[in-house]
Amino acid sequence: MVRKITPSLEERQNLWRLLELAREEDLGSGDVTSAILPAALRAVGRFVARQPLVFCGGAMLEAIAVRYDGAIQTTLHCPEGLPVEAGAVLAEWAGPARGILAAERVALNFLQRLSGVATTTREYVEAAAGTGAAIYDTRKTTPGWRELEKYAVRVGGGLNHRKGLYDAVLVKDNHLAIMARAEGRDPLTAVGRELERIRPYLPEGAFIELEVDSLEQFGRALGLGVDIILLDNMTVEELAEAVRLRDAAGARGRVELEASGGITLANVRAVADTGVERIAVGALTHSAGAVDISLEVEVD
């Protein structure tokens, strides 16, 4: 059963901004090729999967159609998040042929990109299934596309990490390096003090996460009161040991552990089996390829 997922207000607004840019760069002053068609000619265009994929973007098709020609009617044949085989009809447009052809490339660009992210995400989610580990995205998104790509991750069964620098604290290696130089002493001690200072001023629901790259750092981070500890580029043996140390310290349920760095489909199951609660995968967005979807058009 596919759970119903709809884009949020912010995600719809992101679509409209991107759609305006896409329409301007592609349509410009008008489609001089489709002008050869009779203005009254009507057509039906069917969006067809050319490979197995997880469908994402159908919720945006109507908005795209209306922006090109308000007379185009959109019919969805496939819900968001449904895995389909090659040959499946995902959706269709019916209306003025000129408008359908003008909107074709932009619509396919959105569908192919978002379905690619959803499909890649589903592969990681299925690889880690049954372990208790959840697959999270990162900020490694296409500039301008973050809201939509994070929506596609959810459609694929993954979970969203922080959206940006404003909604959660994530202290990374560069923060620690700068803190060490600025303070002239142990950065973890200084960071712990500063985190306590800023915690009351964080947005509601914001978490505090700290990146460590060694078990020595990890042991000390457990006592800093953070919500999540990011285990950066650790081996599966080190990840398992971190889980053991966390549990032995009585911090299970208080501190979640997140594996990050070098996660691939080949190793994600082994990482998930270590007992970490979270796995952050940059590849969901920065390496997902566009899937093959076409628009087949015929005269109505």
pLDDT digits (tens, 9 = 90+) for 250-263: 999 999 999 999 99
Q: Is 140 known to be catalytic?
A: yes
Q: Quick check: is 1 in a domain?
A: no
Please tell me whether residues 91 and 156 are part of one structural domain.
no
Q: What is the pLDDT of residue 187?
A: 86
Q: What is the pLDDT of residue 1?
A: 56
Indicate which CATH number applies to the domain containing 23.
Answer: 3.90.1170.20
Q: Quick check: is 180 in a domain?
A: yes
Structurally, how many domains does the chain consist of?
Answer: 2
Q: What is the pLDDT of residues 60-109, one digit of tens each?
A: 999 999 999 999 999 999 999 999 999 999 999 999 999 999 999 999 99
Q: Quick check: is 2 in a domain?
A: no
Question: What does the pLDDT average to over 28-41?
Answer: 96
Asked if pLDDT for residue 150 goes beyond 80, the answer is yes
Please tell me whether residues 114 and 150 are part of one structural domain.
no
Q: Is 4 known to be catalytic?
A: no
Q: Is 211 known to be catalytic?
A: yes
Please tell me whether residues 276 and 183 are part of one structural domain.
yes
Please tell me whether residues 61 and 105 are part of one structural domain.
yes
Q: What is the pLDDT of residue 2?
A: 66
Cβ-Cβ contacts under 8 Å for 222 (sequence gap 6 or more): 229, 245, 246, 249, 251, 255
Q: Contact at 8 Å (CB) between 211 and 172? A: yes
Q: Quick check: is 75 in a domain?
A: yes
From 80, 104, 137, 211, active-site residue:
211
DSSP H helical segments within the chain, as ranges? 9-27, 58-68, 97-127, 146-155, 173-183, 187-198, 215-221, 236-248, 268-272, 283-286
Q: Is 232 known to be catalytic?
A: yes
Q: Contact at 8 Å (CB) between 193 and 154? A: no
Domain extent, residue 101, equals 9-125+289-299
Question: What does the pLDDT average to over 192-205?
Answer: 90
| Cα-based torsion angle of the residue sequence 48, 123, 159, 146 in order, rounded to the nearest 10 degrees | -50
Please tell me whether residues 149 and 270 are part of one structural domain.
yes
Q: Quick check: is 3 in a domain?
A: no
Please tell me whether residues 24 and 161 are part of one structural domain.
no
Q: What is the pLDDT of residues 110-147, one digit of tens each?
A: 999 999 999 999 999 999 999 999 999 999 999 999 99
Question: What does the pLDDT average to over 181-197?
Answer: 84
Burial grade of 125 (CB within 10 A; 0-12, 13-18, 19 or more): buried
Indicate which CATH number applies to the domain containing 173.
Answer: 3.20.20.70
Please tell me whether residues 118 and 149 are part of one structural domain.
no
From 50, 105, 185, 199, active-site residue:
105
